[in-house]
């Protein structure tokens, strides 16, 4: 095979995003464009000059490297000793995984935050474990926005047109090379969509796109922006995702046994699955619902009300009446599926309710969130005590090969590439500290090369560096640390023990509260006493996240309990030995509970998990707890050095975090739980599976 074709194979399989040696190969081809294209190997290869290419192809060591990377990708794709095949053998089984966003690589900006990154990590781990799974989502012409901060510190959103022909996606075509085009009813219009495919290791992801000339102008733009429109746009998108997504699978000849809805956005898939059974297989409404239910899995992701879609009955009528008339479901039957109390005429249609009522397996994303979700949705099961409400939990995780630094990964991996987290306990303190400082240096380099507000004065590896990066949703309280500005200023400006803070994150375009938090931080960063001590990095994305969770010393997280269903950035941090200081919410409450309470083993708890009536009191108590932790524990420990300049106790905590938390909070662990408890369960009732 020609080297050029091998390079293309490597570029079009996103496996390079968790294979550092392949990514280094692309960087070697043209490091400047590798950066400029946001790590897009397809665009990189398009841009490469003939001269550079000739030169590379004449270089034997380069050609050897390409061959090596290509061989190892082939071996990965063809392996038949995966976790799934060893445990379940070869069988006719697959899972369809639906999500409105996927955070896989920074050159595909079709994610907004944790939900999307989780979905991306889900696909990557499914690939590594050999789980037969196919992803379904939407391809947004303008993606999620790029963030710019203006003079006043106010967030501006930019929506560039993305040319997906120059990304690692391919358009799905039929045998004769024609695009595969599907159709879906959107109110009275027939809307067409094309399908793009991403290769994620062994897993395929299909993305539906209505940006076709054949479509009328307003419908062409259904898939223009992620979370960009009003609720009318939202229902259009969700019809394409749910109903269109099932049709896309069928056009591709795919009939998965299990359907996993990552959040309620895709819940209309229930209707299309029922339509198939009623219209094509002659089942009754009840039979169809029961079959769908027994093979649907639903994961709810947030206790925040705005995170759940509610549609007016008028919208539902306009968009779905004619569709359901055709399949013999009455409008009342449809409404009943989306209402807690079907007879309540004032109740809106809720996608979460639709998903809960049509899935036999429901779960929250941490132990605490499972309980909170049972409470939140208990009125759907009025006859059950709250602890029996059928919503379980599978705690989220992160894809270790994506998030773990390559230096740590090399140390912890055996010859087969499996990570043994306990190995860190044998690593020399000095080596670990040196590796950490190198990652911090790389972070600083990134910060200096990126557009940012607030110049860090003497940003060096020697200053204790705190990171805070996530969506600027108000419950995450990005400015809690500034509750007492004077106190904070004194802490940051201590000449012996200086501290600096890096912020990054986007607010939803319509979330003015979130934008105000960004503005406050940006404005403070521009003047004394915070000048040179805090910086805000624009346009948070996967690349910035990777650097921050590897290169900071402390990862700060202070959501209002119990609003953070899980949180995942802290997991990325802890597996890299970046120590968490967090309120006892989401995954951290669970990590804390499973450890020796009160020990300073692997990080710090802010407060004691108590929830106060008054938000002011809550903020007061928890901000004071942060200052106290900083002054009494974190800062002294960080600056407590031996004669070689090593903070021994700190390094010990890094090792505890890596060995204790690393193995528990991966998507490999998470996927195994989904397979064992949700995907491969015995469904003998309806003889669908096993
Ligand atoms: C991990 C990640 C998130 C989620 O972080 P949380 O701490 O769960 O809010 C959001 N955005 C990006 C880019 C990430 O990598």
pLDDT digits (tens, 9 = 90+) for 5-61: 999 999 999 999 999 999 999 999 999 999 999 999 999 999 999 999 999 999 999
Contact 210, 182 (CB under 8 A): no
Mutate to test the pocket of ligand 1, among 102, 113, 404, 541 (most ligand atoms within 8 A of CB): 113
Tell how far the Cα of 118 is from the centroid of ligand 1, in angstroms.
9
**Beta carbons within 10 angstroms of residue 635's beta carbon:** 19
Nearest CA to ligand 1 atom 11: 113
Q: Looking at the CA of residue 566, tell me the nearest atom of ligand 1.
A: 8
For 262, the enclosing helix (H) or strand (E) is strand 258-262
Tell how far the Cα of 563 is from the centroid of ligand 1, in angstroms.
15
306 or 319, greater pLDDT: 319
Q: Looking at the CA of residue 398, tell me the nearest atom of ligand 1.
A: 1
Tell how far the Cα of 670 is from the centroid of ligand 1, in angstroms.
17
Tell how far the Cα of 181 is from the centroid of ligand 1, in angstroms.
34
Tens-place pLDDT, residues 86-135: 999 988 999 999 999 999 999 999 999 999 999 999 999 999 999 999 99
| CA distances for 485 relative to 346, 398, 481, 616, angstroms | 46, 34, 8, 16
179 or 453, greater pLDDT: 179
* DSSP string over 128-191: HHT--EEEEEE--TT-SPEEEE-TTS-EEEE-PPP-GGGTT-EE-B-TTSPBPEEEEEETTEEE
If phi over 0 gives left and psi between -120 and 50 gives alpha, with beta otherwise, what is residue 460?
beta
Contact 444, 455 (CB under 8 A): no
What spatial distance separates the first Cα and last Cα of the chain, rounded to whole Å? Answer: 41
Nearest CA to ligand 1 atom 4: 114
- Check whether 600 has a pLDDT greater than 70: no
Q: Could you say which DSSP state residue 602 is in?
A: S
Mutate to test the pocket of ligand 1, among 38, 103, 507 (most ligand atoms within 8 A of CB): 103
Tell how far the Cα of 215 is from the centroid of ligand 1, in angstroms.
35
Tens-place pLDDT, residues 628-656: 999 999 999 999 999 999 999 999 999 99
What pLDDT does residue 687 have?
38
d(CA 331, CA 634): 59
Q: List the CATH code of the domain at 400-665.
A: 3.40.50.2000
Tens-place pLDDT, residues 248-268: 999 999 999 999 999 999 999
d(CA 627, CA 444): 25
Q: Looking at residues 177-193, what average pLDDT do you find?
A: 96
Does residue 646 sit in helix, strand or coil? coil
Which residues line the pocket of ligand 1, CB cutoff 6 A?
113-114, 117, 470-471, 540-542, 545, 567-569, 572
Q: Looking at the CA of residue 114, tell me the nearest atom of ligand 1.
A: 4
Tell how far the Cα of 123 is from the centroid of ligand 1, in angstroms.
16
Q: Could you say which DSSP state residue 378 is in?
A: G
Tens-place pLDDT, residues 538-594: 999 999 999 999 999 999 999 999 999 999 999 999 999 999 999 999 999 999 988
d(CA 113, CA 443): 20
Q: Looking at residues 374-392, what average pLDDT do you find?
A: 97
What pLDDT does residue 690 have?
29
Q: Which two tokens stand for residue 6?
A: 């091998």
Q: DSSP alpha helices (H): ranges in 309-428?
A: 313-326, 331-338, 351-357, 367-376, 400-403, 406-412
Q: Which two tokens stand for residue 34?
A: 């590798």
Nearest CA to ligand 1 atom 1: 569
What pLDDT does residue 597 have?
55
* DSSP string over 560-584: PTTS-S---HHHHHHHTTPEEEEES
Could you give the percent of the chain with pLDDT greater than 90?
A: 91
Q: Looking at the CA of residue 118, tell me the nearest atom of ligand 1.
A: 1
Tell how far the Cα of 556 is from the centroid of ligand 1, in angstroms.
13
What pLDDT does residue 596 have?
63
Mutate to test the pocket of ligand 1, among 396, 517, 545, 667 (most ligand atoms within 8 A of CB): 545
Mutate to test the pocket of ligand 1, among 105, 110, 302, 469 (most ligand atoms within 8 A of CB): 469
What pLDDT does residue 322 have?
85
Same fold, 83-397+671-688 and 400-665: yes
| pLDDT mean across residues, the chain | 95
Give residue limits of the domains in the chain.
Answer: 2-78, 83-397+671-688, 400-665
**Beta carbons within 10 angstroms of residue 509's beta carbon:** 18
- Length of the chain, please? 690
Tens-place pLDDT, residues 472-511: 999 999 999 999 999 999 999 999 999 999 999 999 999 9
- Check whether 598 has a pLDDT greater than 70: no
In sign, the C-alpha dihedral spanning 217, 219, 220, 225 is positive
- Check whether 688 has a pLDDT greater than 60: no
Query: Cβ contacts of residue 212 below 8 Å, gap of 6+?
Result: 181, 192, 193, 194, 220
Tens-place pLDDT, residues 325-359: 888 889 999 999 999 999 999 999 999 999 999 99
CA 76 to chain centre: 24
Q: Looking at the CA of residue 542, tell me the nearest atom of ligand 1.
A: 13
- Check whether 273 has a pLDDT greater than 60: yes
d(CA 67, CA 114): 36
Tokens 């061989």 found at: 71
Candidates 530, 520, 522, 521; CA nearest to 457 is 530
Secondary structure E strands in 525-671: 534-537, 554-557, 579-583, 603-606
What pLDDT does residue 686 have?
45
Tell how far the Cα of 671 is from the centroid of ligand 1, in angstroms.
19
Does residue 513 sit in helix, strand or coil? helix
Tell how far the Cα of 113 is from the centroid of ligand 1, in angstroms.
5
Q: Looking at the CA of residue 567, tell me the nearest atom of ligand 1.
A: 8
Contact 482, 524 (CB under 8 A): yes
**Residue 578, CA atoms < 13 Å, CB-side half-sphere:** 32
Tens-place pLDDT, residues 126-162: 999 999 999 999 999 999 999 999 999 999 999 999 9
Tell how far the Cα of 117 is from the centroid of ligand 1, in angstroms.
7
d(CA 252, CA 180): 9
Q: Which two tokens stand for residue 373?
A: 């979700």
Q: Which two tokens stand for residue 485?
A: 């500005």
Q: Looking at the CA of residue 570, tell me the nearest atom of ligand 1.
A: 7
Candidates 135, 154, 152; CA nearest to 195 is 135
- Check whether 418 has a pLDDT greater than 60: yes
CATH architecture of the domain covering 83-397+671-688: 3-Layer(aba) Sandwich (3.40)
């Amino acid at each position: 095979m020609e080297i050029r074709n091998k390079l293309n194979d490597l570029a079009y399989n996103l496996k390079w995003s968790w294979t550092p040696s392949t990514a280094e190969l692309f960087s070697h081809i043209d490091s400047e464009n590798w950066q400029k294209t946001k790590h897009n190997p397809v665009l990189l290869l398009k841009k490469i000059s003939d001269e550079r290419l000739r030169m590379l192809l004449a270089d034997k060591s380069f050609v050897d490297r390409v061959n090596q990377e290509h061989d190892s990708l082939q071996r990965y794709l063809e392996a038949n000793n995966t976790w799934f095949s060893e445990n379940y053998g070869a069988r006719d089984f697959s899972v369809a995984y639906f999500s409105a966003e996927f955070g896989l690589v920074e050159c595909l900006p079709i994610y907004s935050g944790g939900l999307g990154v989780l979905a991306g990590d889900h696909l990557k781990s499914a690939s590594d474990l050999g789980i037969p799974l196919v992803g379904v989502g939407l391809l947004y012409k303008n993606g999620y926005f790029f963030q710019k901060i203006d003079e006043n510190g106010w967030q501006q959103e930019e929506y560039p047109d993305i040319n997906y022909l120059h990304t690692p996606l391919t358009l799905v075509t039929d045998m004769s090379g024609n695009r595969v085009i599907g159709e879906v009813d959107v109110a009275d219009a027939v809307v067409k969509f094309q399908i793009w495919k991403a290769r994620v290791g062994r897993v395929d992801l299909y993305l539906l796109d209505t940006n076709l000339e054949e479509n009328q102008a307003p419908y062409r733009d259904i898939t223009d922006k992620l979370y960009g429109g009003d609720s009318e746009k939202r229902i259009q998108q969700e019809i394409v995702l749910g109903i269109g997504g099932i049709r896309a699978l069928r056009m591709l000849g795919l009939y998965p046994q299990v359907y996993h809805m990552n959040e309620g956005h895709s819940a209309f898939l229930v209707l299309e699955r029922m339509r198939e059974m009623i219209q094509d297989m002659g089942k009754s409404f009840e039979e169809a619902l029961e079959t769908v239910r027994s093979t649907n899995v639903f994961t709810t992701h947030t206790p925040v009300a705005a995170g759940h879609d509610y549609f007016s009955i008028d919208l539902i009528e306009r968009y779905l009446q004619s569709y359901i008339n055709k399949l013999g479901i009455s409008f009342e039957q449809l409404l009943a599926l989306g209402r807690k109390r079907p007879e309540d005429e004032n109740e809106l249609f809720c996608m979460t309710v639709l998903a809960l009522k049509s899935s036999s397996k429901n779960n929250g994303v941490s132990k605490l969130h499972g309980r909170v979700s049972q409470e939140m949705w208990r009125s759907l099961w009025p006859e059950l005590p709250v602890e029996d409400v059928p919503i379980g939990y599978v705690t989220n995780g992160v894809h270790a090969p994506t998030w773990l630094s390559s230096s740590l990964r090399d140390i912890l991996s055996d010859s087969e590439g499996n990570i043994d987290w306990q190995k860190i306990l044998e690593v020399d303190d000095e080596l670990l500290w040196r590796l950490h400082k190198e990652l911090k240096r790389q972070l600083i380099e990134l910060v200096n090369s990126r557009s940012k507000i607030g110049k860090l004065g003497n940003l060096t590896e020697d200053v204790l560096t705190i990171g805070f990066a996530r969506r600027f949703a108000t419950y995450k309280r990005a400015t809690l640390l500034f509750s007492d500005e004077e106190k904070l200023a004194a802490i940051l400006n201590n000449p012996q023990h200086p501290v600096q803070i890096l912020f990054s994150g986007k607010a939803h375009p319509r979330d003015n509260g979130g934008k105000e938090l960004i503005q406050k931080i940006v404005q403070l960063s521009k003047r004394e006493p915070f000048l040179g001590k805090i910086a805000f990095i624009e346009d948070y994305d996967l690349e910035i996240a990777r650097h921050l969770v590897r290169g900071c010393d402390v990862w700060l997280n202070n959501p209002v309990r119990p609003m953070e269903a899980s949180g995942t950035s802290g997991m990325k941090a802890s597996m890299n030995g970046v120590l968490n200081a967090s309120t006892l919410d989401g995954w951290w409450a669970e990590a804390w509970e499973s450890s020796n309470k009160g020990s300073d083993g692997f990080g710090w708890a802010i407060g004691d998990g108590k929830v106060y009536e008054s938000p002011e009191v809550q903020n007061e108590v928890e901000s004071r707890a942060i200052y106290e932790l900083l002054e009494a524990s974190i800062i002294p420990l960080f600056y407590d050095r031996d004669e070689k300049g090593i903070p021994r106790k700190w390094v010990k905590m890094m090792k505890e975090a890596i060995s204790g938390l690393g193995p528990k909070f991966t998507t490999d662990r998470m996927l195994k739980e989904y397979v064992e408890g949700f995907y491969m369960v015995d469904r003998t009732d309806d003889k669908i599976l096993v």
